[in-house]
């Protein structure tokens, strides 16, 4: 078997040589680069996913996407059996394999790793990799290359799920490993049914007369808009209009559209204008794993009132807290109570005002570095863990143990106190757990939960915006000679290397009231990101600007000369 495996690998790897002078790193969410440089990487990603499937004896996922990056880029995200991002302990191997110069080096690395991990080639356990891709024109060819990588590991089978959102693919992997139906139609049915269930339980008094059901969604000219168009046919109690929905010849993926653009630039995406002033609008990113809301500003139609991931998180936290309270209040016999640990996970990008608000609600807030792989892991430590990045990537995780207790409580209350508040709270929490993606942040399921919660509260977008007032902030990008020269610590809030840069940041920050600033190397683009917030906008702008100049002085392109 080993000899056969060796020769299959050698032969197939020879077809996808590593381009000269290209070194790839495993970034925030996998490999990402200009698409023309990615054939060897995608072939190797297929090998990695196949080995992961052999190791776990489960189905894993391989998604071909570069998410918010320009249309000319592409990349790959690998999903573990539980639908979360591939275990971080495998990232060094993935990076070494992607950069192995020759087929012989590649084979050596694979065999050494397989030995260390105790993986058996062609074992008896079923091994399968689900493949998906977004709408990028290079996706189809790169998917075929990944298939070759998967097939180069004997006994592993690729299964092409076609064009899907990233969260759909993660959801399919998660479902399949639970032995449940995992087709796209199952996803649509689960979302539409749990949404209907939540809407049916909107308290009386919040009538359709006083809640504006209209919602306009920017699909980023990507896969998310396309899928939402399909799903909306199954939805009742919602009026969704999708724009930038990836129609042939109309608009370019992520070009002046999409969640990343709206959140970072704080402007309306293409296709939105004065006629939309005051309406509730939402935006997806290119692979629909990020969601932000916005409203075209009445004051300046070129800008938006942004409702970012922090505010989505706050809305969800408020709702979940209320349901937990409702579930347990009025229960005389303590053995019928269902205590739950509720944790909130944010990153350094979270607006300080959101963290203050969440703490005022009495919630436990913890921080991790940027990247869902960190936030998701942390959130999974709680009975209910809510995580969101300010850029709109997040979800609500329910532990299996909590869900089974919730199911028991529901049965108990249904028998003993039909129509009671605790029963309604159980039903709502169960519906939320089935609506919101348990594998990864999902713009489509997040959007439906936002809509259901707003209806439940009877809130306009204005009520939501007023939950707390964001501290003014500014994000900038700085192109540098080598972004890996920046090493950070404390959930990316402090720079360790290069020496002296943190002191320069501290000195700038000290000049402003309630100011905060940090820098970090992006894991998806070749830039250093700078984030600043302060008590007024000009201060945040000027702090971000002066720190960017320090970054440039320490690391900028002129240091190449």
Buried b (16+ CB within 10 A) or exposed e, 113-129: bbeeeebebeeeeebbb
CA 201/CA 357 separation, integer angstroms: 27
Q: Is 470 in the site for ligand G16 (CB under 6 A)?
A: no
> Residues binding ligand G16: what is the number (CB under 6 A)?
18
Let me know: does 339 contact 331? Beta carbons within 8 Å. no
Min CB(144)–ligand G16 separation in Å: 22
* 165 assigned binding-site residue: no
Please check whether residue 240 is in contact with residue 212, taking contact to mean a CB–CB distance below 8 angstroms.
no
Distance CA 527, CA 505 (A): 18
Nearer to ligand G16, 393 or 409 (CB): 393
Contacts of 555 (CB under 8 A, 6+ apart): 478, 480, 481, 482, 483, 485, 486, 498, 528
| Shortest reach from residue 290's CB to ligand G16, in Å | 5
290 near ligand G16, judged by CB under 6 A: yes
400 to 106, 277, 390: CA distances (angstroms):
39, 43, 27
Sign of CA dihedral 226, 230, 235, 241: positive
Q: 391 a known binding residue?
A: yes
Residue 73 known to bind ligand:
no
Residue 69 or 190 having the CB closest to ligand G16: 69
Regarding 289 and contact with ligand G16 (CB under 6 A), the answer is yes
DSSP 472: P
Q: Is 278 helix (H, G, I), strand (E, B) or coil?
A: coil
CB of 329 to ligand G16, least distance (A): 36
Binding to ligand G16 in span 179-218, by CB under 6 A: none
Residue 336: how many CB atoms within 10 A of its CB? 15
Catalytic residue among 67, 192, 194, 283: 67
Identify the H or E element spanning 473: strand 473-478
CB 370, CB 387: distance < 8 Å: no
Cα 508 to Cα 516: distance, rounded to the nearest angstrom: 10
Q: What's the CA gap between 528 and 520, in Å, rounded?
A: 6
Please name which of 444, 439, 453, 349 lies closest in space to residue 396, comparing C-alpha atoms. 439
Question: Exactly one of 29, 47, 443, 450 binds ligand G16 (CB under 6 A); which one?
Answer: 29
> CA geometry: angle at 180 spanning 175 and 183, to 5°?
70
Q: Which two tokens stand for residue 217?
A: 């969604």
Q: Should residue 524 be labelled a site residue for ligand G16 when binding is judged by CB under 6 A?
A: yes
Q: Is 522 a known ligand-binding residue?
A: yes
390 annotated to bind ligand: yes
Strands 73-79 and 59-64, how do they pair? antiparallel
521 assigned to a ligand binding site: yes
Comparing CB distances to ligand G16, the nearer of 80 and 276 is 80
551, burial (CB in 10 Å: exposed 0-12, middle 13-18, buried 19+): buried
- CB-wise, 201 or 380, nearer to ligand G16? 380
- Distance separating alpha carbons of residues 408 and 426, to the nearest angstrom: 10
Minimum CB separation of residue 30 from ligand G16 in Å reads 8
Q: Is 67 labeled as ligand-binding?
A: yes
Of the CA atoms within 13 Å of residue 120, those in its CB half-sphere come to 6
Q: For residue 168, state whether it binds ligand G16 (rule: CB under 6 A).
A: no
Binding to ligand G16 (CB under 6 A) within 45-74 occurs at 67-68
Question: Considering beta carbons, is residue 391 or 438 the nearer one to ligand G16?
Answer: 391
Asked if residue 126 belongs to a known ligand binding site, the reply is no
Assess whether 314 carries a catalytic annotation. Answer: no
Pick the piece of the chain touching ligand G16 (CB under 6 A) from 43-51, 92-100, 230-238, 519-527.
Answer: 519-527
Q: Residue 520, annotated ligand binder?
A: yes
Q: Determine whether the annotation assigns residue 305 to a binding site.
A: no
Distances (CA, A) of 133 to 130, 228, 283: 10, 16, 20
| Stretch 350-409 residues interacting with ligand G16 (CB under 6 A) | 370-372, 389, 391, 393
Min dist CB 487 to ligand G16, Å, is 15
Binder to ligand G16 among 56, 303, 522, 542 (CB under 6 A)?
Answer: 522
> Which residue, 170 or 410, has its beta carbon nearer to ligand G16?
170
**Alpha carbons 242 and 433: distance in angstroms, whole number:** 25
Q: What residues are designated binding site?
A: 67, 285, 287, 289, 389-391, 520-524, 529
Q: What residues are designated binding site for substrate?
A: 389-391, 520-524, 529
Q: What residues are designated binding site for Mg(2+)?
A: 67, 285, 287, 289
Residues that bind ligand G16 (CB under 6 A): 28-29, 67-68, 285, 289-290, 370-372, 389, 391, 393, 522-525, 529
Provide the annotated active-site residues. Answer: 67
């Amino acid at each position: 078997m080993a000899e056969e495996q060796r020769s299959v690998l050698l032969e197939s790897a020879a077809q996808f040589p590593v381009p000269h002078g290209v070194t790839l790193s495993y970034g925030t969410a996998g490999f990402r680069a200009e698409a023309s440089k990615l054939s060897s990487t995608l072939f190797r990603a297929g090998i990695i996913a196949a080995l992961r499937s052999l190791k776990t004896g489960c189905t894993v996922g391989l998604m071909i996407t570069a998410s918010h990056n320009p249309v000319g880029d592409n990349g790959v995200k690998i999903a573990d059996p539980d639908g979360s991002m591939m275990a971080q302990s495998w990232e060094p191997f993935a990076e070494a394999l992607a950069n192995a110069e020759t087929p012989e080096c590649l084979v050596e690395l694979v065999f050494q790793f397989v030995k260390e991990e105790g993986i058996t080639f062609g074992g008896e356990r079923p091994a399968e990799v689900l493949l998906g891709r977004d709408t990028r024109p290079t996706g189809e060819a790169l998917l075929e290359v990944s298939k070759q990588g998967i097939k180069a590991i004997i006994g592993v089978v690729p299964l092409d799920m076609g064009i899907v959102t990233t969260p759909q693919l993660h959801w399919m992997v998660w479902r399949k490993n639970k032995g449940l139906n995992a087709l796209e139609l199952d996803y649509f049915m689960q979302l539409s049914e749990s949404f209907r269930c939540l809407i049916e339980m909107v308290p009386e008094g919040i009538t359709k007369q006083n809640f504006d059901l209209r919602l306009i969604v920017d699909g980023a000219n990507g896969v998310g808009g396309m899928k939402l168009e399909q799903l909306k046919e199954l939805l009742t109690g919602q009026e969704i209009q999708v724009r930038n929905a990836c129609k042939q010849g109309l608009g370019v993926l992520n070009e002046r559209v999409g969640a990343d653009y709206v959140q970072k630039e704080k402007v309306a995406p293409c296709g939105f204008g004065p006629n939309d002033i005051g309406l509730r609008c939402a935006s997806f990113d290119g692979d629909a794993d990020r969601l932000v809301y916005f409203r075209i500003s009445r004051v300046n139609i070129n800008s938006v009132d942004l409702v970012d991931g922090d505010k989505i998180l706050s809305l969800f936290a408020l709702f979940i807290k209320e349901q937990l309270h409702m579930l347990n209040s009025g229960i005389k016999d303590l053995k019928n109570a269902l205590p739950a640990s509720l944790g909130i996970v944010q990153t350094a990008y979270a607006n300080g005002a959101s963290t203050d608000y969440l703490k005022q609600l009495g919630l436990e807030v913890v921080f991790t570095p940027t990247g869902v792989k960190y936030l998701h892991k942390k959130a999974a430590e709680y009975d209910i863990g809510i995580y969101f990045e300010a850029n709109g990537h997040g979800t609500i995780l329910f532990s299996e143990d909590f869900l089974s207790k919730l199911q028991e409580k529901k049965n108990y209350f249904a028998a003993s106190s039909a129509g009671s508040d605790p029963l309604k709270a159980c039903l709502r929490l169960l519906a939320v757990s089935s609506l919101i993606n348990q594998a990864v942040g999902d713009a489509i399921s997040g959007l439906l939960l936002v809509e259901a919660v707003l209806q439940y509260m009877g809130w306009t977008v204005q009520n939501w915006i007023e939950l707390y007032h964001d501290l003014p902030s500014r994000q900038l990008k700085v192109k540098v000679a080598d972004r890996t020269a920046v090493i950070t610590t404390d959930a990316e809030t402090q720079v360790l290397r290069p020496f002296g840069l943190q002191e320069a940041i501290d000195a700038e920050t000290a000049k402003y009231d309630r100011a905060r600033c940090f820098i970090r190397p992006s894991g998806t683009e070749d830039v250093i990101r700078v984030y600043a917030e302060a008590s007024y906008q000009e201060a945040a702008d000027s702090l971000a600007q002066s720190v960017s100049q320090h970054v440039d002085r320490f690391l900028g392109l002129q240091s190449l000369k």
